[in-house]
Amino acid sequence: MASVLLFLFAISFSNDQIHLEKQILEDGRFMELNENYEAALQIWESAKERLDKPSIEIALNYIRVSTEHDMRGYYESASDLYKWALSADSIENKDIAIWELELSMVEPIMSQELQKNLRNYLSQNDPDFFEYLNGFWKQIDPTPFTEYNERLIEHWQRIAYARANYDRNENTVYNTDDRGLEYIRYGPPLKKRTGVLRVSQSDIEKTCNILSACDPDVMRSVIFGMDPTPYYEVWIYNRFNTEMRDNLVLIFGESPFGLRRLNSIDDLIPNQAFSFGKRFDHPTLAGFELEAGVISPGMVFQYVYYTKLASLDMYFGRFASEMNMNWDASSPTSLARLGPHLGPVLNQEADLAIRLARNAAPEQVTSTSNMIRNIDIKIYPYRFLGVNGQPYYATFLESQPHRAFVEDLSSNDEIMMPEGTLFEEAFQQYELLHGIQILDEVGNVRTQSRIQSELVVTGEEESAPSYSVFTIPYVSDENKIIFQAELHNRNTETNPKLNTAFSSSLRGLGKIDYELPGPLENDPEELVLGDIIFGYDLDYDSELNTLVPFVVSHERMIPKGKALALHFQLYNLIPTEGLSEFQLKYEITRDRGFEWLRGKEREVSLEVGFQTRGSRFVDNLEIQTRDLEPGDYTLSVVFTDLNTQKRVEKDLSFKVISSD
């Protein structure tokens, strides 16, 4: 009896929660209908405290209304509510249709493999659906170290814009025309041209003066009889990556089914314009049939259309040049052989060029990176072994926030530096953060670290880099590693240069995905040497960085007059009576370049003995190189375990550069 009562109570409680969720939704929608959008958002946001289970329907309504009405103060809450919806531990039957619609709205910016996986999870009511969808959004988050996901907000901003501006059809999941779908994927194009393509009498005469076997009188009658004046729209995006040989060209035009994306500009040409032969002759304005000759009317359309658009992008210019070259009246050989077939051939080539660019383009591109000053990042990993012999990386993250700092300070100088304010006071209000995030194969965070780094700014155009060192244990080659640098202005009275979905304090951003090299291999039977870190100005008393108390030069460039500094780690020494002994022999030779007949000249050579307890030795070493002249050198090091005579050696090239 008690179990029955408990069951009935659970059903009653569940129904109460469903009723409460429905009431919260309706209350918010009532406020939205009355254009009280803030009240609607506040009602929906209360669901997080009032409901025992997340509500995807409430989260989606919240993010839709906040982005449709550009309510930037609510964007972080919108991102938080969406993440709350993804924290569900099961897929409720009442929510399946909503999740299917949401997945349909995200699929255009996903890989096909991920789409398939998510569809499978959703069809089986598998809660892994939430993990994988959350992992997707985390991977494309421009600031993955914060809870706020700007890319999610940007996606919905684009949906709102597309619905308001691209409504000449409703053939996409967003109820927009095809332009809306592409806008949601890639954002605003770099270049755009719209209009109506007309072929005038002068266009026909000019074309027939260039193309052989083209009768202007026949063409005029045939083309004006067809009278196509199609509306077109061309979008140009610069190449998104190195895999793309050409820019991405998207062409839209009217079709019997409304405005659609076209395979090429040739889709605007009537099909009958490419027909040839007597039984396919073309009607004229007078109602007669005239044979066009070797050149089909479609080829005239092609020549005029591509020539008119040639200045927009090399895609059109290339095919316009091809027609000038192959269809020219002065070299009619190809025309005599192929005749009107040249038109369809060019059509296929034009289709293929666009298709290849689309295939090489990514599924989605964020515009957020163009709205905030980029911070250049470089990563330098060094491979070592821990006390237990497990491999790890001492990884340097170097960033260049100098330009972002100067640009922001200049645009906010009246607030940051009123009369009487010292530069140091303004400088102290900036914060530079370096971070690293390790993701698993799904895209969820395995571990992360974020630290404040010293902001290095000088009066020079190219400042010295700011840097941080992260210790990264080797776990798996399948892990994805993200490095990031953020510059923040903590003065709340200032504003960023552009109004974006980012946090208002963010003024500079750098982010890269990085693949670490293979780990240092540890053969217990051999003497093992970790990667050597190069630098100069060793300070034995420094407390700033216990790993490398010197200026690190990852490119191995040492200023003239400086002493070379090294950090090295040696493993698998064999102690005798608890004491390990080894010898380091190093030699520096100069590469004489074209004076190779003289061979290499030894500049510095020395043998040093070391003793230590245990099998592992870590140290920093200074080598006197102050007298070396600028040039190319090779450092050769040989470590020998004096107890076993095992040895390990390495040659490292470096440069001495002028200190001017």
State the CB neighbour count (10 A cutoff) for residue 481.
20
Q: How confident is the model at residue 660 (pLDDT cuts 50, 70, 90)?
A: low
Mind listing the pLDDT tens digit for each residue in 429-447?
Answer: 999 999 999 888 777 788 8
Rounded CA separation 69/67 (Å)? 5
Confidence at residue 10, expressed as pLDDT on a 0 to 100 scale? 45
Mean pLDDT for the stretch of residues 576-585: 92
Rounded CA separation 535/555 (Å)? 9
Query: Which residues of the chain form CATH 2.60.40?
Result: 373-518
Sequence-separated contacts (24+) of 343-347 with Cβ below 8 Å: 343/274, 343/296, 343/298, 343/299, 343/302, 344/274, 346/266, 346/302, 346/319, 346/322, 347/264, 347/266, 347/274, 347/302
End-to-end CA distance of the chain: 92
Confidence at residue 380, expressed as pLDDT on a 0 to 100 scale? 97
Q: In the numeric block, which tokens belong to residue 607?
A: 């043998």
Higher pLDDT, 660 or 134: 134
Please name the fold of domain 523-660: Coagulation Factor XIII; Chain A, domain 1 (2.70.50)
Does the pLDDT of residue 12 top 60, yes or no? Answer: no
Residue with tokens 């070493």: 621
Mind listing the pLDDT tens digit for each residue in 144-176?
Answer: 888 899 999 999 999 999 999 999 999 999 999
Residue with tokens 């959350």: 134
Confidence at residue 221, expressed as pLDDT on a 0 to 100 scale? 85
Q: In the numeric block, which tokens belong to residue 139?
A: 């991977």
The CATH architecture that domain 373-518 belongs to is Sandwich (2.60)
Mind listing the pLDDT tens digit for each residue in 315-341?
Answer: 999 999 988 877 765 454 555 444 557
Mind listing the pLDDT tens digit for each residue in 210-266?
Answer: 776 678 888 888 888 887 888 999 999 999 888 899 999 999 998 778 899 999 999
Rounded CA separation 425/2 (Å)? 69
Look up residue 53 and give its DSSP letter. Answer: S
State the CB neighbour count (10 A cutoff) for residue 488.
18
Confidence at residue 125, expressed as pLDDT on a 0 to 100 scale? 94
Confidence at residue 227, expressed as pLDDT on a 0 to 100 scale? 73
Does the pLDDT of residue 459 top 80, yes or no? Answer: no
Mind listing the pLDDT tens digit for each residue in 97-130?
Answer: 999 999 999 999 999 999 999 999 999 999 999 9
Rounded CA separation 616/46 (Å)? 58
Q: Which residues of 593-617 are buried (b: 16+ CB within 10 A; e: fewer)?
A: eeeeeeeeeebbeeeeebebeebbb
Does the pLDDT of residue 593 top 70, yes or no? Answer: no
Rounded CA separation 142/149 (Å)? 7
Does the pLDDT of residue 365 top 90, yes or no? Answer: yes
Does the pLDDT of residue 551 top 70, yes or no? Answer: yes
Mean pLDDT for the stretch of residues 356-380: 90
Q: What are phi and psi of 447, to 5 degrees?
A: -160, 160
Does the pLDDT of residue 195 top 70, yes or no? Answer: yes
Confidence at residue 25, expressed as pLDDT on a 0 to 100 scale? 96
Query: Which residues of the chain form CATH 2.70.50.60?
Result: 523-660
Q: What is the CA radius of gyration of the chain?
A: 34
Higher pLDDT, 271 or 278: 271
Mean pLDDT for the stretch of residues 15-22: 88
Confidence at residue 280, expressed as pLDDT on a 0 to 100 scale? 40
User: Kind and range of the H or E element at 274?
Assistant: none
User: Kind and range of the H or E element at 214?
Assistant: none
Does the pLDDT of residue 383 top 50, yes or no? Answer: yes
**What percentage of residues in the chain have a pLDDT greater than 90?**
62
Least confident of 25-34, 295-304, 331-340, 577-586: 331-340
Q: What amino acid occupies position 610?
A: F
Residue with tokens 């938080």: 80
Q: Are 232 and 196 in contact (CB under 8 A)?
A: yes
Rounded CA separation 592/260 (Å)? 66
Confidence at residue 495, expressed as pLDDT on a 0 to 100 scale? 82
Mean pLDDT for the stretch of residues 574-592: 90
Rounded CA separation 44/20 (Å)? 11
Where is mean pLDDT largest: 14-23, 324-333, 619-628? Answer: 619-628
Rounded CA separation 299/304 (Å)? 9
Confidence at residue 266, expressed as pLDDT on a 0 to 100 scale? 93
Locate all alpha helices (DSSP H) within 370-472, ordered by sequence.
402-411, 413-416, 423-427
Mean pLDDT for the chain overall: 87
Mind listing the pLDDT tens digit for each residue in 292-312?
Answer: 456 788 888 999 999 999 999
Rounded CA separation 173/161 (Å)? 14
Mean pLDDT for the stretch of residues 514-530: 94
Confidence at residue 331, expressed as pLDDT on a 0 to 100 scale? 54
Rounded CA separation 122/103 (Å)? 9
Rounded CA separation 57/85 (Å)? 9
